[in-house]
Structure 1
Amino acid sequence: MSQHVGSDTASARPAWAGLERSAAAQARLHELVPGGAHTYARASDQYPEGMAPVLARGAGAHVWDMDGNEYVEYGMGLRSVTLGHGYRPVVDAVAAAVADGVSFSRPTTWELDAAEAFCAQVPGAEMVKFAKNGSDATTAAVRLARAATGREVVAVCTDQPFFSTDDWFIGTTPMDAGIPRAVSGLTVRFRYGDLAGTASLLAERRGEIAALVLEAATAQLTPPPGYLEGLRALCDREGVVLVFDEIITGMRWAAGGAQSVYGVTPDLSTWGKAMGNGFAVSALAGRRELMELGGLATDERRVFLLSTTNGAETGGLAAWLAVRRTYESRDVPAVLAERGRRLRTGVEQVVDAAGLSAHVTVSGHPACLVFGTLDATRKASQAYRALFLSELLRGGVLAQSFVVSAAHTDADLDRTVDAVGRALPIYEAALDAGSTDRFLVGAPVAPALRERAAPRRLRHDTDSIRRPGGAR
């Protein structure tokens, strides 16, 4: 990057126009949609109170809200968009496919082509079934493991926040209202990287655990040497099905997923997000002898594996095939990693220059970066996160994370670093004051999975958008 990061792009950016139209739309969404959004991670409580843009369109790595504000966006589509919004090869492929029909009463050539391509790309995929979201695929993996082993208990990694919207997993989170205890009691936890602890758990519950479910790696977790190989050996010894959740790592870490990076093949793996560059498509893949329990070449009791009306609609499969073609012609995971490293370097430079490296951090896999916001005592703070987010928004950056896409340009990264630099004086002032109270309107952001709506219980009288230049 240049030494004067982002100065040219910042001067060309239109001034912040406020969010009045977004406010009205968000208020109406709250009246019609529980939580005001169809995904908890997209909800207004994940943003500073009164500063939740409602988006109208996107192109590349940029989005525009209803008020005309333009932003460089990160974490695009909750990490599903790796090639950029409106990426023409994917859009054109989908348009051509759906023009000939979307859903039929028999399988289509799209299903055969997509299955051939997927099994050729993923090391552990001898068979595959497509669906529309990662939760369905992962729950199907759990059901398959239970059927194959005759066991009911599932072990999930406690250091990883999310695996499925279904009862077997959500019952283990603080947001467990409506989940029978009999169901949630069938899920146990193990710590990432603690091979000895996992071995003890499997020994203690010998003959009970059907599957180990984990992400092979995350933004913050890299497998210690021998760890994944050790899990593979443990599962083989104890007759447990090893499931890798590749919903995020698949086609972000590598085209073949984390399993291809670390050289450990699971029994089953689940995929989603980046497969369709934002189009809805997911997959369950794995060993033939397991997958066929949901098929017709078995004498065992049949498993109702995945059977969805829209699981193989032509648009989603066409999107996946177009994404795959792009990955064949361009090393997209390498581009993502390079973009992430460049962004991290630039942000760390301005943070270090401001003397705030103990309070604003960037960490994680270069293709999946997250930022940390720490208070004066160097503890993670939702209030300081809200303050940082609000200043980034004013600077034309929409960022719950710093997860990049291949569409992010040098100018986008420079503009982001410039926005971070402009946010730091206010952040430092709040640190000096010992509180964000003078600088932040409303309650801080809050974890998406929490027991109650507080501290972001909706208050219709105050859940409005701040005016430009208003109190911070």
Structure 2
Amino acid sequence: MDLPGSRAGFTRSEQLQRRLHEVIPGGAHTYARGADQYPEGMAPVLVRGRGARVWDADGNCFVEYGMGLRAVTLGHAYPPVLDAVRAVLGDGVSFSRPTELELAAAEDFLALLPGADMVKFGKNGSDATTAAVRLARAATGRDMVAVCDQPFFSTDDWFVGALEMNAGVPAATRRQTVRFRFNDLDSLRELFDAHDGRIACVVMEQATALAEPAPGFLEGVRELCDRHGAVLVFDEMITGFRWATGGAQAVYGVRPDLSCWGKAMGNGFPIAALAGRRELMELGGLRTDAPRVFLMSTTNGPETMSLAALRAVIGAYAETDPVGAMERLGRLLAEGVNEAAAELGVQDHVAAVGRPSCLVFTTKDGEGRPSQPYRTLFLQELLRRGVLGQSFVISAAHTEQEVAHTVDTAREAMLVYRKALEKGSVDGFLTGRPVAPALRRHADPRRIP
């Protein structure tokens, strides 16, 4: 297998990236994948992946982290998933009526979720969360949504209006979404008091890479929703199949009314899901006398390839232990990186932190503040040595050898990082402009001509 590294440079990738900017706004179909999230001149355009490695258009090989924005836990081109997909291709992909596969996939998926009675499949997480909000509004007759102060829930107006990057969202829509703080029940209680009888639902992740729920917090959220007649929606996009096969609700034991899924449930194949209690889900069905909810009615929601992928993923989790592998490898990675940082005296600036299956890295300046220039320098040095990733989010396909390579690479990157800290600036070390927040209001500071 090719040794990781970017010895061939990025000439071909740069040519392709310029062409991407001509035909795709931002040069990528997801803001987090944009070239402005990588050092200038070092944004590889990928051509293939296998296991935990990817190859770019210049022939460079990288150990990848982030794994398809956390969507791949079993590894790229995981054979049992590909075999399941190939098995259905010859029989057609999309039909005018439901297939037996839809029933089997729904039953398999719901067997993982004790608190859910029904499911609807779609193609992306935003469709699922927006469907949950619409369902909650219909069930409660209310308009407002309380969202936790966590990074991202949807590309639709009800959530985008609460972001800095909210051009095009009507002011009235922006006012319908209010925020509360994670692990702060009083902040949610205050919202219910301030908007008495107006909040349709609470939307939140039960945990993040960096924040576990405090004892009693999730139970308190559940109790507040019950007391005020609001629907509790758990976003399991990241936690599902990464915290546990049954998601974070299986770890923490608090049952939502609705839960939204995506990412790892298809190991990269496009599939998402809204699951929930029957009395809510049937508002979009045929067993209701209430006005019906338009609930995730999509042409490609039930296509056979992704449903076959889902069933294969569920099978892989039943037969092996991907979560255990990610936890073990993640701990190994974090320990190695943090030991190297301590040896080099930069442990207050660079660290691998968070849940082992969902690690991120800190990049702080000489004053101990999070720094985009220093983050970019760290990314640059990782890329030069064959590690690609905006995080250290791992998969079950990573090997101990690849983790060891990453630790060695991080050590070498931190040697450069330490020199920049000693100088007090990344000048002379960083090539090009620093990365910028993906969802910023303006294209500057990474505007392109």
Q: TM-score range with shorter-chain normalisation?
A: over 0.9
Q: Do 1:250 and 1:256's aligned partners in 2 also have CA atoms closer than 8 Å? A: yes
For the 8 Å contact 2:5–2:385, the answer to whether it is kept is no
Equivalent position SS for 1:378: coil
Provide closer, same or farther for how the CA distance between residues 150 and 423 of structure 1 changes in structure 2, counting only shifts above 3 A: same
| Contact map agreement 2:13 2:45 (CA 8 A) in 1 | yes
Shift of 1:43: 0.4
The one-character-per-residue Cα deviations of 1:97-120 (angstroms, maximum 9, x if unpaired) are: 122111000000111001101111
Say whether 1:393 aligns with 2:393.
no
1:165 corresponds to 2:155: yes
1:1-400 alignment to 2 at 5 Å? 13=4, 16-158=7-149, 160-400=150-390
Shift of 1:258: 0.4
Aligned residues: 449
- What is the letter of the counterpart of residue 33 of structure 1? I
Shift of 1:319: 0.4
- Counterpart of 2:447 (choices 454, 457, 469) is 457
- What is the TM-score with the length of structure 2 in the denominator? 0.99
Residues 40 and 433 of structure 2 are in contact (CA less than 8 Å); yes or no, is this contact kept in structure 1?
yes
Structure 1 residue 14, shift from structure 2 partner: 5.7
Q: Distance in 1 between matches of 2:253 and 2:6?
A: 49
Q: Render the CA deviation track for 1:166-213: whole Å, top value 9, x for unaligned.
A: 000001101101111111111000001111221121122110000000
- Of residues 195-204 and 46-55 in structure 1, the stretch that sits farther from structure 2 once superposed is 195-204
Tell me which amino acid in the other structure corresponds to 1:430: A
How far has the Cα of 1:425 moved from its partner? 1.5
Are residues 356 and 313 of structure 1, via their aligned partners in 2, closer, same or farther at CA, if it must alter by over 3 Å? same
In 2, Cα distance between the equivalents of 1:404 and 1:438? 32
Provide closer, same or farther for how the CA distance between residues 453 and 15 of structure 1 changes in structure 2, counting only shifts above 3 A. closer
Residue 407 (str. 1) matches residue 397 (str. 2): yes
Rounded to whole Å, the distance in 1 between the matches of 2:214 and 2:6 is 47
State the Cα distance separating 1:408 from its structure 2 match: 0.2
Q: Is the 8 A contact 1:118 1:125 kept in 2?
A: no
What pairs up with 1:411-450 in 2 under 5 angstroms? 411-450=401-440
Alpha-carbon RMSD: 1.1
CA change 1:59–1:50 in 2 (3 A) is same
CA distance in 1, matches of 2:136, 2:60: 48
Return the alpha-carbon distance in structure 2 between the equivalents of residues 214 and 369 of structure 1: 20
Cα drift, residue 13 of structure 1: 4.7
CA contact under 8 A between 2:12 and 2:58: conserved in structure 1? yes
Contact 2:4 2:387 in 1 (8 A): no
Change (3 A) 1:120 1:13: closer
Distance 1:373 1:84 in 2: 27
Counterpart Cα distance in 1 of 2:325 and 2:115: 25
Quick check: 2:260–2:274 contact (8 Å CA) kept in 1?
yes
Residues 6 and 61 in structure 2, CA contact (< 8 A), matched pair in contact too: no
Unaligned runs of 5+ in 2: none
CA contact (8 A) 2:5 2:387 kept: no
Task: Give 3-state SS (helix, strand or coil) of 1:64's partner.
Answer: strand
**Aligned mates of 1:14, 1:373 — CA distance in 2:** 22
CA contact 1:123–1:259 (8 Å) conserved in 2: no
Unaligned runs of 5+ in 1: 1-8, 460-472
Higher mean alpha-carbon deviation, 23-32 vs 432-441, is at: 432-441
Contact kept in structure 2, 1:54 and 1:65, CA below 8 Å: yes
Tell me by how many angstroms 1:418 deviates: 0.7
SS at match of 1:316: helix
1:123 Cα deviation after fit: 2.4
In structure 2, the CA distance between the partners of 1:14 and 1:370, relative to structure 1 (3 Å rule), is closer
Q: Which amino acid aligns with 2:23?
A: L
Tell me which moved more, 288-297 or 89-98. Answer: 89-98
Quote how far apart the aligned CAs of 1:54 are: 0.4
Q: Relative to 1, partners in 2 of residues 1:301 and 1:435: Cα closer, same or farther, differing over 3 Å?
A: same
How far did residue 335 of structure 1 move?
A: 1.2
Whether the 8 Å contact between 1:46 and 1:445 is mirrored in structure 2 is yes
Q: Deviations over 1:355-379 (max 9, x none)?
A: 1101101111111000010000010
Amino acid at match of 2:62: Y
Q: Partners in 2 of 1:37 and 1:252 — Cα distance? A: 25
- Which aligned segments of 4 or more residues in structure 1 are displaced greater than 2 angstroms? 12-15
Percent identical residues: 62
How many angstroms does 1:388 deviate by? 0.2
What SS does the corresponding residue of 1:147 show, helix, strand or coil? helix
CA–CA separation in structure 1 for the residues paired with 2:342 and 2:204: 35
